[in-house]
């Protein structure tokens, strides 16, 4: 029996930081999905089990995310 891979959303405004996170997630065998705004995150949430939020971003309220 095989299990489906873990899916992780990354909410980060900074492209370099989000790319580092995505590579680390994928390196651990999970599927990473990237979002740079609240709207993009809302679209991803139904399909992921975990969320990583960059708390230093200014494009969205990181605590509300």
Q: Where are the domains of the chain?
A: 7-53
**Whether residue 40 has pLDDT greater than 80:** yes
- Residue 10: in which H helix or E strand, if any? strand 7-11
Single out the residue of 52, 11, 46 nearest to residue 28, CA to CA.
Answer: 52
Q: What percent of the chain has pLDDT over 90?
A: 66
Residue 63 C-alpha from the chain's centroid: 15
* pLDDT score at 58: 77
The confidence band for 64, taking pLDDT boundaries of 50, 70 and 90, is confident
Residue 33 — very low, low, confident or very high, per pLDDT cuts 50/70/90?
very high
């Amino acid at each position: 029996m095989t299990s489906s891979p873990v899916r992780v959303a990354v909410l980060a405004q900074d492209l370099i930081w989000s790319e580092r996170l995505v590579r680390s997630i994928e390196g651990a065998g999970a599927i990473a999905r990237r979002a740079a705004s609240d709207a993009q995150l809302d679209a991803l949430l139904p399909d992921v089990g975990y969320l990583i939020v960059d708390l230093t971003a200014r494009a969205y309220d990181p605590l509300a995310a």
